[in-house]
Chain A
């Protein structure tokens, strides 16, 4: 199984049971994960982005046991952010990047975001965008971060049809017809870490084509078992289960 949504380092507001990388890797292996795409919690608030990315790569190489694949941070509100994209590809040899527009303070109709997608396409990077990290109702009172407004995304992505674009933690904010429109907008994929309701994956399949859904856990912030049990709860059958948990991610451009 490929988990496209895990994170390393420390969640800024509390310790998590699996926030030591060896322990997370053990948990992932026990769950049958053979590959996990890892961002860093440091990416949310740190400004030395290349320092974040270097530590992420080192942690994946040192403790990943071949399972962890780093997805770097790029913050287009920082000076010379374009250099971080180049380093992600050329220096760190990453296959993708993970964006946090709400923590970094830009909207999706900002020209910097458009430029970022252009450079990511040139560098053959998968782009992940995390719509939210935490329920807004439970955030720290001094650090309240609204979810990303994805309304401009369909239009922006129409200018970048080739880029593999993955929305993480999106289902609380992107629902119904908006979700279906976004799935049709380009090469857009969705993880299911925040898909809720009973039989949730079955309901997601009514809105999104089956080849656009990826297994993602949002571990270690969420108990990893949440994602695995969601696959078990929905009546998917072996073919769909395998597409969602393995094949859709493995077929993504730049994923190998």
Chain B
């Protein structure tokens, strides 16, 4: 069972969300990926306006509308626009089919301004995915590092949170969130550097490691290789490839009456 935590509509052929998701599903079939989580739309900006958030969420809603048996959506929200984000959580999750939220680079997640978004998502049992990087070349002004995520996770110790990209520089990223047991890591969206999954399983345990690809900018292939090529027990591999994501999603899926 392979479930993919981290999928986008950008970087893909096709002029509409429907065309793009149909194409991605062909590749997913070829690679044995059964279910996929989509967030963010076809055109991105580092600091999206409320209208941008609505538009991008609309595109994801449209894309997944014909794929309810395979595709999930996370609502794209921003700590720069808390009220608009809460409205989007209401529209897309509380009153819509989405099952999580995505936070990107508009503001650091260590800032307490984000707390209202986190608390509302937690109330709905929505899965929380925060992009993180440790860039030796320098993060964007609003780009969170895994240490920012640790700060957030310690303010909300009962809320499961996913550390996107494992911070990119995963030797630092894994260490940064190691002590926060409510944080899992997303393996998608960085080079298939050998050893990452072995270190993650050793330091965090396999239940805190989740496969994702970051398609269409990345390939399924390079990101699946991190799990398929890792020297880890098969039981750990199964957890990482799908069982952990399913476990995190089950509470909200059950509330929505979605079978999984």
Of A77-85, A152-160, A225-233, which stretch is located at the interface? A225-233
* CB contact between B193 and one of A140, A199, A221 (< 8 Å): that residue: A221
* CB contact between A138 and one of B27, B136, B216, B226 (< 8 Å): that residue: B136
- Is the pair B219, A197 in contact by a Cβ cutoff of 8 Å? yes
**Main DSSP-derived SS at the A contact region:** loop
State the CA gap A200–B230 with chains docked (Å).
22
- Is the pair A233, B221 in contact by a Cβ cutoff of 8 Å? yes
Residues 123-154 (chain A) with a chain B CB within 8 angstroms: 134-141, 144
* Residues of chain B whose beta carbon lies under 8 Å from any beta carbon of chain A: 11-12, 24, 27, 30-31, 133-137, 168-169, 171, 190-195, 198, 213, 215-222, 224-226, 228-231
State the CA gap A226–B223 with chains docked (Å).
7
- Is the pair B194, A200 in contact by a Cβ cutoff of 8 Å? no
Q: Which residues of B contact A20 (CB under 8 A)?
A: none
Nearest-neighbor residue (CB-CB) of A135 within chain B: B191
A165 to chain B, nearest CB (A): 24
Q: Which residues of A contact B30 (CB under 8 A)?
A: 232-233, 235
- Is the pair B222, A138 in contact by a Cβ cutoff of 8 Å? no
- Is the pair B225, A223 in contact by a Cβ cutoff of 8 Å? yes
State the CA gap A51–B177 with chains docked (Å).
42
Nearest-neighbor residue (CB-CB) of B221 within chain A: A229
Tell me whether A223 and B27 are in contact in the complex, defined as CB-CB below 8 angstroms, given that A197-B216, A229-B224 are known contacts.
no
Q: Which residues of B contact A194 (CB under 8 A)?
A: 191
Tally of A interface residues using CB under 8 Å: 35
State the CA gap A78–B226 with chains docked (Å).
38
A50 to chain B, nearest CB (A): 29
* CB contact between B27 and one of A140, A195, A221, A233 (< 8 Å): that residue: A233
- Is the pair B222, A229 in contact by a Cβ cutoff of 8 Å? yes
* CB contact between A229 and one of B12, B31, B198 (< 8 Å): that residue: B31
A6 to chain B, nearest CB (A): 12
**Main DSSP-derived SS at the B contact region:** loop
State the CA gap A180–B151 with chains docked (Å).
47
- Is the pair B194, A16 in contact by a Cβ cutoff of 8 Å? yes
Q: Which residues of B contact A223 (CB under 8 A)?
A: 192-194, 225-226, 228-230
- Is the pair A198, B215 in contact by a Cβ cutoff of 8 Å? yes
Residues 201-231 (chain A) with a chain B CB within 8 angstroms: 219-226, 228-230
Q: Which residues of B contact A220 (CB under 8 A)?
A: 194
* 23 sample A-B contacts, Cβ–Cβ < 8 Å, listed by A number: A16-B195, A135-B168, A137-B169, A138-B169, A141-B136, A144-B136, A194-B191, A197-B217, A198-B12, A222-B193, A222-B225, A223-B192, A223-B226, A226-B221, A226-B222, A228-B221, A228-B225, A229-B31, A229-B224, A229-B225, A233-B31, A233-B219, A233-B220
Tell me whether A198 and B27 are in contact in the complex, defined as CB-CB below 8 angstroms, given that A225-B228, A229-B222 are known contacts.
yes
* CB contact between B135 and one of A17, A137, A199 (< 8 Å): that residue: A137
* CB contact between A196 and one of B31, B217, B230 (< 8 Å): that residue: B217
Nearest-neighbor residue (CB-CB) of A223 within chain B: B229
Q: Which residues of A contact B193 (CB under 8 A)?
A: 134, 138, 221-223
State the CA gap A189–B178 with chains docked (Å).
43
State the CA gap A199–B13 with chains docked (Å).
10
A245 to chain B, nearest CB (A): 14
- Is the pair A198, B192 in contact by a Cβ cutoff of 8 Å? no
B177 to chain A, nearest CB (A): 17
State the CA gap A14–B169 with chains docked (Å).
13
Counting from the closest, the 9 A-B pairs by CB-CB distance are A223-B229, A229-B221, A225-B229, A226-B225, A225-B225, A226-B192, A223-B225, A230-B221, A137-B135
